Chains A and B, each alone.
Chain A
């Protein structure tokens, strides 16, 4: 690469200049923003009409969950909500690529992936309402609890994958047995030490883990240029494993690429970094105000790349879904919204004394004494108004 000023190394204007605006030449795409099917030399695959309608239904329902949760926050029913608007394809594509025996580590925004793992979406609201820190059994869904500390879960994912290696469920050739880990994180997390250490450990032990980075361009107010001076997927090479950039607004490409990366991991060929190139259409959370730090032109430009709209165009144009399908889905979404609204408001507050019993597997005499003291104190208010 030559520089106009005669310097050396990668030309940063090239890396983040106009070339990268649409994800750059290495962006893997199977469905264009206009709903045209694209054939990729390496990752092309055939999708059945059922599969395509399934992806569409997933994305519509997950967007509905997001819209309802955002509204519940506005009505004071949730303390906060981390929106996924715009990232539906990245999450459904990745989530559907994982098999039941795979294990998934989410951040706190993977509502779409949670949906794919079969979690009741109502369970996602507890953490944001403040009644729990996550109320599902990770081993029931092979889906870990939401992790709030940025990037911390990528190390857990790598360790879990190292456990799978020791359990003999990697590279046996049995498709029902072989398993891998899907580790989610974002562009902001890519700066964390833990993420970089997880890359090193996974590479060193050839662990069966797919690092799935949703690059939504923003870490609250900080743009991707603050986190990285090269496209994130290119970092993988420096750690010794492949990196791929996929159009994160294209559910077909995201599914195909993640599925291939997971299979590679299950086969014992080690980690892959998948960068799903997408855009956070909403705020970081309901407490954030993106108008303070980004221009609306960008948001408008990304609206044209909407993940749901492009699949809808494709389904309609190719006669893969009829009016009845869309009408039924709208009804299903409305019913889901109703269930979420009512379910959220009906969630009981936690009981103060329960917190003492959850600290340890084997509680301590000190904690029992504290709980008893607190119980006696609370009892003094009984009957009072």
Chain B
């Protein structure tokens, strides 16, 4: 069946499908029940699946993730919602020291099939702590897998795939896209694998690497550049840990140039890892150093100037110009 859905609706439908498919799937978080979450991603699910499966939690993130660990040990598949990216830090210890390490610590005897959903990124005019991009902190942690969705169709499938996966997945949702664009969702089309990057726009002159909210930014930039005669290829990374570099190497060997675009701070962000790997694998194909466009190395600014801080079409094209001039 084909319907036009927003990312928020697609995630809601995907969660519903996952809960129907496996009664061990539980949702837990702040305000996820009656309210349906502050972004309404879990709208209607408590009504249909009951309070035992859609659990409104006390306001304590470490408590949410820590109790989810115990539920996973008991054989459940908890999907926890962290209300905003900047609120994940109280749970950081449980995520890094427990969620990520239990499989390793137990030599594979204890599985941690947990999904930690985090609305991430800026551009919604919010107050402090509501616009952050903490992905590198989790991608740096062995034992976690990290994915970022960029569009409704991926949202629908990737959430189901992450829930069915036996390893813990940090699931990043670009909050400013939740209610932005609608896409055709055909739930009879089999999805591709979860941990795979995807070429979303072919091009010849340079490769743009993006994920989450910056995929749209890069597609818009590529469209604008096409008007000026520059052909940009865009890859949606989708999986941040593990990285799926095959399509990236193939692309960069053709174009000879790569620009990484993310909202997270540039210093030691995903772009640094991508630049290092591209340099290791595509050194003799590179016509220019890998460039990075991202958030500046300051705390996220007050929202009246966030559009200056966030990578936008112009900053992406500026980096492309610098790459092409080298």
Contact pattern, B 49-79, Cβ under 8 Å of A = 1, otherwise 0: 0001000011010110111111111111010
A138 touches B62 (CB 8 A): no
Listed in ascending order, the chain B residues whose CB lies under 8 Å from chain A are 26, 52, 57-58, 60, 62-63, 65-76, 78, 90, 93-94, 97-98, 102-111, 113, 142-143, 145, 165-167, 195, 242-243
Listed in ascending order, the chain A residues whose CB lies under 8 Å from chain B are 132-135, 137-139, 144-145, 147, 149, 152, 154-167, 193-194, 197-198, 200-201, 204, 355, 357-362, 364-367
Q: Which residues of B contact A162 (CB under 8 A)?
A: 67, 70-71
Contact of A201 with B58 at beta-carbon distance under 8 Å, contacts A149-B93, A360-B145, A361-B166 already known: yes
Contact of A145 with B167 at beta-carbon distance under 8 Å, contacts A152-B66, A200-B58 already known: no
A149 touches B66 (CB 8 A): no
Q: Which residues of B contact A200 (CB under 8 A)?
A: 58, 60, 63
Q: Which residues of A contact B74 (CB under 8 A)?
A: 159-160, 163-164, 167
23 contacts between A and B (CB under 8 A): A133-B104, A137-B106, A138-B110, A155-B65, A155-B69, A156-B67, A157-B70, A159-B67, A161-B70, A162-B71, A163-B75, A167-B74, A193-B62, A194-B63, A194-B94, A200-B60, A201-B60, A204-B58, A358-B104, A361-B113, A361-B167, A362-B166, A366-B242
B63 touches A358 (CB 8 A): no
| CB < 8 Å neighbour of A159 from B66, B242, B243 | B66
Q: Which residues of A contact B70 (CB under 8 A)?
A: 155-163
How many angstroms between the C-alpha atoms of A355 and B103 in the bound complex? 11
A201 touches B57 (CB 8 A): yes
Contact of A155 with B103 at beta-carbon distance under 8 Å, contacts A138-B109, A163-B75 already known: no
B165 touches A358 (CB 8 A): no
When C-beta atoms are compared, the residue in chain A nearest to B73 turns out to be A160
How many angstroms between the C-alpha atoms of A256 and B38 in the bound complex? 47
Shortest C-beta distance, B137 to chain A (Å), equals 18
How many angstroms between the C-alpha atoms of A194 and B109 in the bound complex? 24
Contact of A361 with B67 at beta-carbon distance under 8 Å, contacts A160-B74, A166-B52 already known: no
B63 touches A362 (CB 8 A): no
When C-beta atoms are compared, the residue in chain A nearest to B109 turns out to be A137
Q: Which residues of B contact A147 (CB under 8 A)?
A: 98
A358 touches B62 (CB 8 A): no
Contact of A360 with B167 at beta-carbon distance under 8 Å, contacts A132-B107, A139-B109, A200-B63 already known: yes
| CB < 8 Å neighbour of A201 from B26, B67, B167 | B67
Shortest C-beta distance, B20 to chain A (Å), equals 17
How many angstroms between the C-alpha atoms of A135 and B110 in the bound complex? 12
How many angstroms between the C-alpha atoms of A197 and B78 in the bound complex? 18
| CB < 8 Å neighbour of B143 from A134, A197, A360 | A360
**Central interface residue in B74, B90, B111, B167, by most chain A CB within 10 Å:** B74
| CB < 8 Å neighbour of A194 from B66, B75, B106, B142 | B66
Q: Which residues of B contact A160 (CB under 8 A)?
A: 70-71, 73-74
B97 touches A149 (CB 8 A): yes
How many angstroms between the C-alpha atoms of A145 and B102 in the bound complex? 9
When C-beta atoms are compared, the residue in chain A nearest to B70 turns out to be A159
Q: Which residues of A contact B26 (CB under 8 A)?
A: 166
B106 touches A145 (CB 8 A): yes
How many angstroms between the C-alpha atoms of A344 and B167 in the bound complex? 33
Q: Which residues of A contact B52 (CB under 8 A)?
A: 165-166
| CB < 8 Å neighbour of B110 from A145, A157, A360 | A145
A138 touches B73 (CB 8 A): yes
How many angstroms between the C-alpha atoms of A155 and B105 in the bound complex? 18
A155 touches B58 (CB 8 A): no
B94 touches A159 (CB 8 A): no
Contact of A197 with B66 at beta-carbon distance under 8 Å, contacts A133-B105, A138-B110 already known: yes
When C-beta atoms are compared, the residue in chain A nearest to B108 turns out to be A358
Shortest C-beta distance, B302 to chain A (Å), equals 29
When C-beta atoms are compared, the residue in chain B nearest to A350 turns out to be B107
How many angstroms between the C-alpha atoms of A156 and B114 in the bound complex? 13
A197 touches B97 (CB 8 A): no
Contact of A361 with B108 at beta-carbon distance under 8 Å, contacts A152-B97, A201-B58 already known: yes
A197 touches B106 (CB 8 A): no
A362 touches B68 (CB 8 A): no
Shortest C-beta distance, B144 to chain A (Å), equals 9
Q: Which residues of A contact B71 (CB under 8 A)?
A: 159-160, 162-163
When C-beta atoms are compared, the residue in chain B nearest to A154 turns out to be B66
How many angstroms between the C-alpha atoms of A95 and B51 in the bound complex? 33
A158 touches B242 (CB 8 A): no
B69 touches A159 (CB 8 A): yes
B104 touches A201 (CB 8 A): no
| CB < 8 Å neighbour of B105 from A145, A166, A197 | A145
